[in-house]
Amino acid sequence: DIQMTQSPSSLSASVGDRVTITCRASESITFHLSWYQVKAGKAPKLLISVASTLESGVPSRFSGSGSGTDFTLTISSLQPEDFATYYCQQTYSSPRFTFGPGTRVDVK
């Protein structure tokens, strides 16, 4: 099975900061990676699919990059509504799709 790791597990940041979250797969998943945002009491929200394609309606301050085993989610200028937990998910190993453990972004 493909294992997913994320770093850091949590981070503290201020509004306006540039935030970078890393996701690593235990083997190559080419570009088959999605990013989700989860806020307390809300359903997960798909932000990015196939490593770098921004979902419709997602602000352009979010971006994704990477391929193979190493991927990055970047928030260029953190906004108050961005404090949340972020998860990566591999969509390569059909039909078994694993999430990373999550990265919590909270207020510094």
CA distance 70 to 75: 17
Q: Does 37 bind another protein (CB under 8 A)?
A: no
Residue choice 23, 25, 49, 64 for contact with another protein (CB under 8 A): 49
CA distances from 102 to 1, 56, 71, 87, 89 (A): 18, 22, 14, 4, 10
Applying CB under 8 A, the span of 13-21, 29-37, 59-67, 73-81 interacting with another protein comes to 29-37
Q: Is 69 within 8 Å of 28 (Cβ atoms)? A: yes
Among 3, 5, 50, 108, which residue interacts with another protein (rule: CB under 8 A)?
50
Residues contributing to the site for another protein (CB under 8 A) = 1, 32, 34, 36, 38, 43-46, 49-50, 53, 55, 85, 87, 89, 91-92, 94-102
